[in-house]
Structure 1
Amino acid sequence: MALPYIHYPSNPIAKPPCGMKDARMFGFFLVGCEQKMQHFVDTTLNSIDSSPYFFKVLGSSPLLSFTDITRIASLQAPFSEYGWMQETDIIIWLPVVKQEKGDDRALHLYWFPAFICVNNINALINGREIWGYNKYLCRYSMPENKRANSDFSLQLETFQPYHPNTQMAWHELLRVRRVDDNDNWLSEAYETTKEIAELLSQGAQGAHLSKELIKQLLGGVTHPYLDQILFKQCPDGMAQNSLYSAVLHSPSTINAIHEVGLLEGEYEVDIRHLDAFPLQQLFGIATGKQWARLPYYVNMDFEQAGARVIVEQGYV
């Protein structure tokens, strides 16, 4: 039997949905490893034994995004009267489809925010407690707009390297740098078409579309939204067992798109190794430099709904 959640003074949890205004997102598709991405999904989304579903990654191209949200606030009274905040999210997304166990038809497409860094404590607490987002505090840099030729960077306060004598300090995990390629419009169009074809080909391999998924994709054309899938768990007091584990979904409904398009030039992504955040081990994103594919920009307003349970498991 579920108990009511107690919203007491000094507890920063606010009820969703949340309204996001002037969200400027830069996105970069990276080269990962499908097997390592699937292993991460298996240890999270597929970890609930009683689930009738199996979640499968599509392809080997995780998405790295930097999103600066100018204004975010709860849309639920009385929390909507408290105020608003700025929030920046740096996320590594995995495209995932839901299947019924024993059936290889893809029933639904989700985006799994497998790793998230944010710039303020309120966003971190609400995101982890309500949705189960794997959030961590960060320092970052990013351009003010798509025409600004400045770097993206992400720094985390962590132990590096793991060693009993290591004191926690700030370390850079990744940097994205724009490089002007001087390509003409025909070359740019060819490269863009080629990259789109490669990404679609990756996603189509081994995926058998169901009528439910086709209906979802067609519905997204007229009513744009992004369906997020989340893994939420609550550890016991010894961090040994999980008191509660669940796979949740939360739609992001896009209310307005102010600007959208591909970014000009090439973008070089430089990944550093941090023992606490081993992107190569987690997602197969190799340490060192690689070129981003289909770099894009979108400025939008959207709403983030609360999270609904797909499967859950509680422990006594």
Structure 2
Amino acid sequence: MTERSEHTPLDGPESCRRALAAAGYIADDAVATACFLALELDRPLLCEGVPGVGKTSLARALAQVLGGPLIRLQCYEGLDSTHALYDWDFAAQILHVRTLEAQATSTGTALAAAGIEDELHRERFLVARPILKALQAGAPVAAGAAGGRAVLLIDELDRADDEFDALLLEVLSDWSLTIPELGTVRAAVPPVVILTSNRTRDVHDALKRRCLYHWFDQPGPEREREVLALHVPHAASGLRGAVVAAAGRLRAADLLKPPGTSETIDWLRALHALRVDELDEPALRASLSAVVKDAADIPVAREVLGVTGGA
């Protein structure tokens, strides 16, 4: 049986839900439960779903709840260990070698190759990338320091190559990273790890088994209105409802990039900035660029929303 984590500042899913709401994130019971278990069991949480439904913003809210740093690794094709784990400061190493050579010349001594190798791989030349930073944030030297638990956001994992899944699995299995020249860095307090994926490729099964999992659906109209009220509180209630209804019609249409909740938030903010109180045709025409993000979708969206005039 898994022991209760000593690092969880919340006492249950409902407590987690309230804390996330205070941080500006409207979580349903399933999301709150998944987050609580990720904290309680020290397990990564894999969040999959269509873009714009709150996967990335969940990590930001958790960092605010926990009072620790948010460390983000944005994934992309070709991502490798030197950008995800650590690298060496080559320029600083070269300068150091030149300094050693100058000192040797002035003193008439010879440089030992083994000694130079040791000099060049000291910690001061190490460049910590996001994953190493997250482990260091929970290392023993930092465990008693001020600040809360670190949140590591590995964003859009599906954009990275399959090989990256294996690299990630190795680190997440025991919350440690071995640097051959320096030794092993082990997190005394594991970071909270949120992985997001838009499912442009399947995440490796072995990594999925290591994680807790939550699928993010597009929120229903009532919850989306709650989210809009939280993020754009000064907009009229009737306008929020009209935006949610219009976004629903766009999602039901054959769009290449249907709007997520992040787009409806942008849309309502744009309408509020334009001092609009009613989602009529002029308002739709003026604000369509805030919600439609593909040229091929513009004529379809205009037809669905009844926008006939203008460019």
Judge same fold: TM > 0.5, yes or no.
no
- Into which bin does the TM-score normalised by the smaller protein fall? under 0.3
Structure number having the greater helix percentage:
2
With the length of structure 2 as denominator, give the TM-score of the two structures. Answer: 0.23
